[in-house]
Amino acid sequence: MAEQSVLANLHFGREDAERDVTDGLLLRGGFLATAATRAAMSGRKMLIIGRKGSGKSAICMRLMVDGVHDGGKVLITPDDAAGDEIRRFELQGLPADSAKALIWRYLFAVHAARHLVEHAKAGHGRKPDSVKALHRFLKQNDELPGDRLGDRLAQGARGLQTALSLEAFGFKAGVELAHSPSEGARAARQLEVVEKGVAQAFADLGCAGAHGPLLLLVDQLEQVWSAEPDSNSMVIGLLLAAKHAAGLYGRAVRCLLFLRADIYDSLSFGEGDKFHGDELRIAWVDQALKELVLARARASAGAGLTEDRLWREIFPETVRGEETPAYLFSRCLPRPRDIIQFLNLCQETAWLTHGRDRITEADVLQSSLQFSAWKLKDLALEYLVAHPFLERLFPLFQNTGYVVTRAALGGRFEQAAGTLHRLFPAYAEALTLSGVIDILYGVGFLGVRRGSDVVFAGGGELPVQPHEPEFHVHPCFREALGATSAIDLRRYEPVVVGDRIASGNVGPGVRGATVVSRDYRLLGELARSCHSILAQVGRAVGLAQGARDEITQQIGRVLNDADPANGGRPVDPEDRVLTAAHYFITLATQLRVSGLDDTAGAGGVAYRIEDEARRLRRLAGGSFGSSAHSAGV
């Protein structure tokens, strides 16, 4: 019965790093150090980029474990409330990317200040005046520990948009910032005072070089990302803030950002080329995954478990004529989460379902079908934000061969195009044959035949080329689709197959986000401008209520007119946007000649209206970036 005991104890860990730490597997030898781990721990890289399930959070959780890093550490994982605060944060006079960089910089500075207040006495045995000033600042601005991240961000946002209490640093903000040219300039100046105070405290304590730096780790940003311009600005602002912190605090602070590859690859901004040296992309090969599997098996079943025993006694030696590791790894996307789920499913099928003392070939085959169904559904969910139509593309490959030519796929897509365009009109320009091929290759669903090899995305390979004619469904998804043979030699069923493909329903059993059509993006940007102006009006508390109501009413009319659902899609969205921009300029001019002075807030509203008018004119002229709000757009 000793063998049964090994199988009963065998477990390859949890799918998510947070529970893996709680259960203890990551702490008992189940963590495999990789190039990404070494880069993160050494400080050589600031951006750890990878697909969902590739191990980003495992590295993050490992760094949070006591004894792994000899300096302070703070984990920042925004929830919905925090993400909403950052996405909505804006400052008159600053592009959205720059404004959101300020709120991230403020968050970093507050976390560093809290750390210094606690660390000064415990780590250095003294509390210099600069640290005492930080403590007073935190207290005066209600930034002491205890509140949720969303509440703290709301507090910080209000402070940056109005006035922080800076008396702790000998700075009378209300007097010295009264003549700031814009809301953004005032916020930036306030933040500089706070950051200077934090940097001075680090210098007075001599933290740099005396011990490890304070680690500011940002993870799980995908939980609050939505592929909208404001979400992209939120991520771009984070990158800019981390770069700024690295230069400002030197060796005393280090930022580590763990980002999903599809999010990072969707960004486009002027400073993007300055981050290449900070990037490290997680890429797994079969050998590294085998080492990870063995480490986790030993952590659960005992250090004496050998590789030979794992793959020849506990697992069957072969499955359908293939060596078992080759069979298993070829049917997973190359990331730890997939192989952990697959192997745990094999163990549970053999031990829990059938009561065996070892895993048989039949157990692996039964698990393979269930696992394939999981992964097909998971792929659609993974890219639900970036490619909301992805699940509707799977019927193009259902109950047919897993090898498909460009010509054959073109015929199937032609049947489905009408339904796809009707269900997802905003993505109609991307839902072409070449667009669909690029998307399916980018997410790892399709591989492309190159010479005698089939290449899947993920290791820096070239994108699909226009002349490449043959594609293969990844083995991970074939069983769920009923596409287990290379070609389909069954009888042709044009009505049944055509109905299924056209409906986009799966029967039982590109990097980055898809680009929305220009017309829909223009209308979306017009709506965003209206909301931005309305928010500025709401902050102009000194403006007479009647004036605020009138401006709100007029902007509300523009906003209503921007909605395609009101009276159908406009004939010319570009004309609609330019008309609104012209009206905004007229409205700003009327505000300026109305006699209302800037102390009432009219000037800030006028500035905001003019900023949005200029932005809309640039966009209507064809300038679209990732966020469309970077300086110079």
Phi first, then psi, for residue 404 (nearest 5°) are -135, 135
pLDDT at 588: 87
Of 458, 475, 503, the residue at which a domain comes to its end is 503
pLDDT of residue 29: 57
Instruction: Look at residue 258 and tell me if it is in a domain.
Output: yes
Q: What is the number of structural domains in the chain?
A: 4
Arithmetic mean of pLDDT, 158-162? 84
In a domain, 143, yes or no: yes
Encoding tokens for residue 519?
């017309």
In-domain check, residue 629: no
Residue 490 pLDDT class (50, 70, 90 cuts)? very low
Burial environment of residue 365 by CB neighbours within 10 A (0 to 12, 13 to 18, 19 or more): middle
Same domain, 54 and 122: yes
| Boundaries of domain holding 195 | 35-281
Same domain, 390 and 334: no
One domain, residues 310 and 165: no
Rounded Cα distance between 480 and 182, Å, is 57
Do 277 and 197 fall within a single domain? yes
In the chain, % of residues over pLDDT 90: 43
Q: What is the pLDDT of residue 41?
A: 81
pLDDT of residue 586: 87
Q: Does 1 have pLDDT greater than 50?
A: no
Q: Are residues 130 and 198 in the same domain?
A: yes
**DSSP states of 219-284 as a string?**
--GGGG--SSHHHHHHHHHHHHHHHHHHHHHGGGEEEEEEEEHHHHHT---TTGGGGGGGEEE---
Residues 194 and 290 in one domain: no
Flag whether pLDDT at 628 surpasses 60: no
For residue 80, count other CB atoms closer than 10 A to its CB.
Answer: 10
* Pair of tokens at residue 549: 């109501």
In a domain, 21, yes or no: no
**pTM for the full predicted model:** 0.84
Question: At which of 321, 353, 381 does a domain end?
Answer: 381
Indicate whether 630 belongs to any domain.
Answer: no
Mean pLDDT along residues 484-507: 61
What value does the mean pLDDT take over residues 107-118? 93
| CA atoms 267, 270, 273, 276: torsion sign | negative
Query: Are 119 and 109 within one domain?
Result: yes
Q: What is the largest CA-CA distance in the chain?
A: 91
* Span 163-209, pLDDT tens digits: 888 888 887 755 455 566 788 888 899 999 999 999 999 999 998 87
State the chain's mean pLDDT as an integer.
Answer: 85
409 with 306, same domain: the answer is no
Three-state SS annotation for 284-301: CCHHHHHHHHHHHHHHHH
Boundary-marking domain end, from 469, 503, 537: 503
CA distances for 185 relative to 190, 195, 375, 388, 615, angstroms: 9, 15, 49, 39, 19
- Containing H/E element for 122? helix 96-124
Q: Are residues 138 and 269 in the same domain?
A: yes
Task: Read off the CATH number of the domain in which 610 is found.
Answer: 1.20.1270
CA dist 25 and 297 (Å) reads 10
Residue-wise pLDDT for 401-438, tens only, equals: 899 999 999 999 999 999 999 999 999 999 999 999 99
Find the helix packing angle between 96-124 and 183-205, rounded to 10°: 20
133 pLDDT above the threshold of 90:
yes
Kindly state whether residues 372 and 495 are assigned to the same domain: no
Percent of the residues in the chain that have a pLDDT greater than 70, as a whole number: 86
Buried b (16+ CB within 10 A) or exposed e, 312-341: ebbbbeebeeeebbebbbebbbbbbbbbbb
